[in-house]
Amino acid sequence: MEALTTITSTAVPFPHEDVDTDQIIPARFLKATTREGFGENLFRDWRYLDEDVPNPEFILNKDTHSGEILITGRNFGCGSSREHAAWAIYDYGFRALIGTQFADIFKNNSLNNGILPIETDTKTYSQLLESVETDPKTEIIINLEDQTVSVPSISLTFSFDINPYKKMCLQNGYDDIDYLISQSETIKAFEKNLHS
Amino acid sequence: MSKTLFDKIWDKHVVTSIENGPDVFYIDRHFIHEVTSPQAFDGLNKRGIKVRRPDKTVATADHNVPTENQHLPIREELSRKQVAKLEQNCEEHNVELYGLGHPWQGIVHVIGPELGITQPGRTIVCGDSHTSTHGAFGAIAFGIGTSEVEQVLATQCILQNKPKLMRITVDGKLQKGVTSKDIILFLLTKLSASGATGHFIEYAGTAIESLSMEARMTICNMSIEMGARGGLIAPDETTFDYIKGRNFAPKAEQWEYKLQQWKELFSDKDAIFDTEHHFQADEITPWITYGTNPGMGISIDESVPSKDKIDPKFQDGFEKSLNYMGLQENQALKDMPVNYVFIGSCTNARIEDLRLVADLVKGKQKADNMNVFVVPGSSQVREQAQREGIDKVLESAGFQLREPGCSACLGMNEDKIPKGEYCVSTSNRNFEGRQGPGARTILASPLTAAATAITGKLTDVRSFISN
């Protein structure tokens, strides 16, 4: 996993509620056996009209907004546990998500793939969204060490929570599996006393 | 100190805890399937390690498989390759595979319980969000991502933070024509598609206790649609009777020993939950969805709500949903023409579901406009249905009993609903495009689906039964 410390970028507003992982990446695109290339089909059925024609109304097809940060509506990533959703978001180029609430499995999957999901309150979210929507050049600075997000153009700074262990993993690019493998002996000892 | 059922199981499976971080959580059983496992095996192969406990891992092919002519090679190339990859990975890593052609093949959440692998007190994971199904047995069961699948394959553990706990109590007696699917759709409407985010749910109360194992699985299955990682129900005699004698159930002395342990699995009287909800069973009627998330539901005899009745935080989604579904505010859905019915999925494709459907349609004929897919959850369910003559009943009604798989639940295999068509479906998700691009899903119970198949329009099964 790639290490993440700070992100300075513009953002893409995507203020839809309850966006499920079937919208992020429809099931018919889950047939690959590698982790790469899913970005091409990110938000596929919203992004394309019939006959694979890009939908000119869809935010990723407009040339107004771009950046490494996606501003997401409440309950983003609900539904299926497919990690392909996180892979698609990463592959497209997003490194952080800012919203009011993320679905649990999706949040875990994001953290396991070097994507930082930031949850904030509704008021801050609205301020941020408005700023990004009115001025696509709005620069957002995310500092993982300090756990802060700042938007200099509107003098907004807010802090966010992250599990200290997951923070350490993101900062160093560590995967959980490395840690778990290092615990082999402890796991072996545990298994000796287990009867299920 | 008083403990919840969840605490009792969780605490026994914590190998060690990271300071200010998650627990190293031990997994008793790991189910895998073709879609979310290949990248995990890849990771293992790159590290040059093998599956740590193949004896605790079981595989099946379900998402990609066709539900007709399963004896022939899968026509779609990518699906065929993904299933072949699973076969290769299982062989190289010595993992038991109940693949196509195996008498135990089926949807992963149907075969685990029917083989007796799912047992009370166990921790169970799978790279599939509907792993919550297994919680019906008093197990901690939840869906995981592929990185976590890799962790479990490599170490039999994952890193998890203990979630908050919610108890939903449903007391009383269900009305005629109301099933456990209606209970969970009703709960979803009341609590919303994110009402249990961050929680695990324990379902309790006399209405829940009165349910069969199949019916309990339907409820736990859809816990994820409320945002919960999983749901569980304390095991009781119904649970023990279901498990006894199944292929992997404990035998003889081992059975007695396990039974004693299982009887300790309940929430202590004064155990504390982070959140509690109470409902009465007689409030619940046959329930359907009208929108594009499972929390957007109404009683079959109600109309689509008007926008001003919707919580302001859900209003944007409400409009977008109705637009996708081709429905209007205040529109009554009862008697609306429908051309597709899908009876299947890990939510409602067990033998009891097929029995309910067969009893209702016996001696009747599907409507002319109607296309009906009945897809059993496993090869064993299909065989049982044949032994009981259910296949004949369905056939005479003009329903097609297909071969087992996830089928039209997720638009990944050959079974899809055409664009713009409504489908009354016993599956679990009515998301945009879930059953195929442009398909419009109305979630319902197997009874509502069967009645709709007969009349050709959305039907209140209560009037259907009394007629």
Contact A83 B145 (CB under 8 A): yes
Query: Quick check: B135 and B168 in contact, CB under 8 A?
Result: no
Q: Is residue A90 part of a domain?
A: yes
**Chain B interface test: which of A176, A184, A188, A193 (most B C-beta within 10 Å):** A176
Measure CB to CB from residue B20 to each of A83, A108, A164 and give the nearest one. A164
Residues of chain A with pLDDT under 50: none
H or E, element range at A162: none
Chain A residue numbers with beta carbons less than 8 Å from the beta carbon of B108 are none
Q: Do A82 and B198 touch (CB under 8 A)?
A: no
- Residues B254 and B372 both lie in one domain: no
**Residue A193 pLDDT:** 86
**Amino acid A50: pLDDT:** 80
Residue A104 lies in a domain: yes
Does residue B184 belong to any structural domain of this protein?
Answer: yes
Q: Which residue of A has its CA nearest to B146?
A: A83
Q: E strands, A33-166, where?
A: 69-72, 96-99, 116-119, 140-143, 148-151, 156-159
How far is the alpha carbon of A143 from chain B, nearest alpha carbon, in Å?
20
| Per-residue pLDDT tens over the stretch B25-45 | 999 999 999 999 999 999 999
From the list A16, A20, A27, the residue facing B412 with the nearest CB is A27
- CA-nearest residue to A85 within chain B is B145
- For range B393-401, the mean pLDDT: 96
pLDDT of amino acid A196: 53
* CA nearest neighbour of B262 among B276, B246, B241: B241
What number is the average pLDDT over the span B262-281? 98
Domains: count for chain B: 2
Q: Are B294 and B372 found together in one domain? A: yes
The DSSP bridge pattern shows strands A148-151 and A140-143 to be antiparallel
Place of tokens 């875990």: A108
DSSP state of A131: H
Cβ neighbours of A81 in B, within 8 Å: 36, 127-129, 143-145
For residue A94, tell me if it sits in a domain: yes
**Is residue A1, in this structure, part of any structural domain at all?**
no
Q: What are the φ and ψ backbone dihedral angles of A153, each rounded to 5 degrees?
A: -60, -25
Q: Give a three-class secondary structure readout of chain B.
A: CCCCHHHHHHHHCEEEECCCCCEEEECCEEEECCCCCHHHHHHHHHHCCCCCCHHHEEEECCCCCCCCCCCCCCCCHHHHHHHHHHHHHHHHHCCEEECCCCCCCECHHHHHHHCCCCCCCCEEEECCHHHHHHHHHCCEEEECCHHHHHHHHHHCEEEECCCEEEEEEEECCCCCCCCHHHHHHHHHHHHCCCCCCCEEEEEECHHHHCCCHHHHHHHHHHHHHHCCCEEECCCCHHHHHHHCCCCCCCCHHHHHHHHHHHCCCCCCCCCCCCEEEEEEHHHCCCEEECCCCCCCEEECCCECCCHHHCCHHHHHHHHHHHHHHCCCCCCECCCCECCEEEECCCCCCCHHHHHHHHHHHCCCCCCCCCEEEECCCEHHHHHHHHHCCHHHHHHHCCCEECCCCCHHHCCCCCCCCCCCCEEEECCCCCCCCCCCCCCEEEECCHHHHHHHHHHCECCCHHHHHHC
Question: 3-class DSSP state for residue A101?
Answer: coil
Count structural domains, chain A. 1
Q: Which of B242, B275, B308 is the last residue of a domain?
A: B275
A1, closest residue in chain B (CA to CA): B147
Judgement on whether residues B253 and B369 belong to the same structural domain of the protein: no
Q: Is B8 part of the contact surface with chain A (CB cutoff 8 Å)?
A: no
| CB contacts, 8 Å: A147 with chain B | none
User: Same structural domain for residues B335 and B420?
Assistant: yes
pLDDT at residue A71, rounded to an integer = 98
**What mean pLDDT do residues B328-350 have?**
98
Residue A107 within any structural domain of the chain:
yes
Taking residues B107-131, what's their average pLDDT? 98
Could A81 and B155 be called an inter-chain contact, meaning their C-beta atoms sit closer than 8 Å?
no
> Which domain, by its residues, includes A17?
6-192
Indicate whether B280 belongs to any domain: no
pLDDT for the residue numbered B100 = 95
User: Do B75 and B19 belong to one domain?
Assistant: yes
**Residue B127: burial class (beta carbons within 10 Å; 0-12, 13-18, 19+):** buried
| Structural domain contains residue B444 | yes
Per-chain mean pLDDT for chain B: 97
Residues spanned by the domain of B377: 287-466
Confidence of residue B315 (pLDDT cuts 50, 70, 90): confident
Q: Which of B275, B295, B322 is the last residue of a domain?
A: B275
Q: What's B330's domain CATH number?
A: 3.30.499.10
CA gap A140, A156 in Å, rounded: 10
Cα–Cα distance, A96 to A67 (Å, whole number) = 10
- Given an 8 Å threshold on Cβ–Cβ distance, is A30 in contact with B35? yes
Q: Are residues B186 and B39 in the same domain?
A: yes
Contacts with B151 from chain A: Cβ below 8 Å: 176-177, 180
User: What pLDDT was estimated at residue B20?
Assistant: 87
Give this complex's ipTM.
Answer: 0.96
Indicate if B323 and B175 belong to the same structural domain: no
Verify that B16 and B121 share a domain, yes or no: yes
- Is residue B227 in some structural domain? yes
Nearest CA in chain A to B153: A177
Q: What is the predicted pLDDT for the residue at B380?
A: 98
Using a CB-CB cut-off of 8 Å, the residues of chain B touching A35 are 39, 146
Please, which residues 264-303 of chain B have a Cβ atom closer than 8 Å to chain A? 293, 295
Interface contact B363, partner A, CB < 8 A: no
DSSP label at A36?
S
Structural domain includes residue B42: yes
Residue tagged 């409009």 (tokens):
B319
- Residue B359 clears pLDDT 70, i.e. is over it: yes
- What one-letter code names the amino acid at A151? V
Are A31 and B159 within 8 A, CB to CB?
no
Q: Is B367 in the same domain as B462?
A: yes
A 99-158 residues with CB < 8 A to B: 101, 103-105, 108-109, 112-113
| Beta bridge mates, A156 | A151
B133 touches chain A (CB under 8 A): no
CB contact under 8 A, A81 and B129: yes
User: Which CATH number covers residue A141?
Assistant: 3.20.19.10
Write out the two tokens for B290. Answer: 């009208």
Establish how many alpha carbons lie within 13 A of residue A7's alpha carbon, considering only the half-sphere containing its beta carbon: 29
Higher per-residue confidence, B311 vs B120: B120
Residues of B in contact with A175 (CB under 8 A): 147
Which structure tokens are listed for B257?
């020993």
Q: Is B434–A180 a contact, with Cβ atoms under 8 angstroms apart?
A: no
Q: Residue B21: which of A27, A84, A165 has the nearest Cβ?
A: A165
Amino acid at site B73: P
Scanning A32-71 for CB atoms below 8 A from B yields 32-35, 45
Interface test with B, best of A84, A87, A104 (most B CBs within 10 A): A104
Cβ distance of B147 and A176 shorter than 8 Å: yes
User: Which of A165, A123, A162, A121 is CA-nearest to residue A143?
Assistant: A162
pLDDT > 90 in chain B, percent: 96
Q: What radius of gyration, in Å, describes the C-alpha atoms of chain B? A: 21
B307 and B430 share one domain: yes
Counting one residue from chain A and one from chain B, the pairs whose CB atoms sit within 8 A come to 184
Given an 8 Å threshold on Cβ–Cβ distance, is A20 in contact with B316?
no
B137 and B230 housed in the same domain:
yes
Q: Cβ B229–A22 below 8 Å, yes or no?
A: no
Alpha-carbon distance of B127 to B235, in angstroms, equals 24
> What pLDDT is stored for residue A195 in this prediction?
61
Q: Is the pLDDT of residue B312 over 90?
A: no
pLDDT at B92 (0 to 100)? 98
